[in-house]
Structure 1
Amino acid sequence: MIVAFASSTGEKIDQHFGWSKEFYLYRINKESAEFLKTINAETDLEDEHEKLNYKIDAIGEADIMYCTQIGPKASQMVQSAGIHPVRVAEGEDLKGSIDNILEMLNTQPPMWLLRAFHKAQQKSA
């Protein structure tokens, strides 16, 4: 599955979804995590709805998106696009979050993670 992290550095999750200028994408399975690319999602769009759609399109291949904050409208839009939003504490270690996903996948994954994992497997089949 593909996970997007809203980060200004690629080291910490430190961005609000709607204001994030970059997302770091990783392919994560039960065995490993592989960095795919950095997505530049900077935009000068003023309209909130257009800006959110632009961000969602930018991370459209993701199954899960980690950020520090996301508004209710944006969360609903992200979920409608088939991406599961996850809020974490400001400055959470990106590598630590990846390790946590790997651990959850290999022990007792929560239902939201199982859904995202199985959906990703069906997309790639």
Structure 2
Amino acid sequence: MNSPAHLPSVSDASAREDCLLVAFASMDGDMVDQHFGSAQAFYLWAVSADSAELLGFQSFGIEKKDGNEDKLKPKLAWLAGADIVYCGSIGGSATRQLLALGIHPLKVKGGPDVVEEIESLQAQLCGEPEGWLEKLLQKKQKSTDDSRFDAMDDEGWDG
């Protein structure tokens, strides 16, 4: 695997429209081993039913697990535009703020392997997605449809 590139923000990432933008709170990109609020890095992947591509990462300073809300701001700003974020643990405030941005947080125990989490997600995309993922996919499809109609309107289409 190529070494990942520094990515200024999730919104700067380019991925196919059928891909989910999935971030992993990880020290080195191999395992989900970081608490959301004190995560030292996030690695962003574009994941579809049949492909997965590492798009890049962003590093953050070392943070204490002290309840200080200010440390969340740069992480939330970087993640804006992501669909899912995996982390080892996450507090209620961070969860609410991610959901408000349209990002679904997933807490995974035991420091699972990023590639295994991607494969599990892809299996759901190919088969029966869990309820939370089904809702996310429906919302993503609706926003894609809406933007297509906006583009048609901008072009002067008349239905």
Give the TM-score, by structure 1 length. 0.89
Amino acid at match of 2:95: S
Amino acid at match of 1:37: G
Question: Structure 1: how far apart are the matches of 2:67 and 2:24?
Answer: 23
What is the match of residue 29 of structure 1?
48
Amino acid at match of 1:35: L
- Does 1:109 pair with 2:129? yes
What is the match of residue 71 of structure 1?
91
Aligned-pair distance for 1:51? Answer: 1.4
The answer on whether the counterparts of 1:68 and 1:88 sit within 8 Å (CA) in structure 2 is yes
Aligned-pair distance for 1:90? Answer: 2.8
Q: SS of the residue aligned with 1:5?
A: strand
What is the match of residue 19 of structure 1?
38
What is the match of residue 105 of structure 2?
85
Count of paired positions: 125
Give the TM-score, by structure 2 length. 0.71
Question: Structure 2: how far apart are the matches of 1:47 and 1:103?
Answer: 36
Q: SS of the residue aligned with 1:23?
A: strand
Question: Structure 1: how far apart are the matches of 2:95 and 2:106?
Answer: 9
Aligned-pair distance for 1:34? Answer: 0.8
Question: Structure 2: how far apart are the matches of 1:50 and 1:94?
Answer: 27
Instruction: Classify 1:47/1:75 alpha carbon distance in 2 versus 1 (closer, same or farther; 3 Å).
Output: closer
Question: Structure 2: how far apart are the matches of 1:53 and 1:43?
Answer: 14
Q: SS of the residue aligned with 2:56?
A: strand
| Larger Rg, first or second structure (1 or 2) | 2
Amino acid at match of 2:36: F
Structure with greater proportional strand content: 1
Instruction: Classify 1:11/1:58 alpha carbon distance in 2 versus 1 (closer, same or farther; 3 Å).
Output: same
Q: Which runs of 5+ in 2 are unaligned?
A: 1-19, 149-159
- Does 1:99 pair with 2:115? no
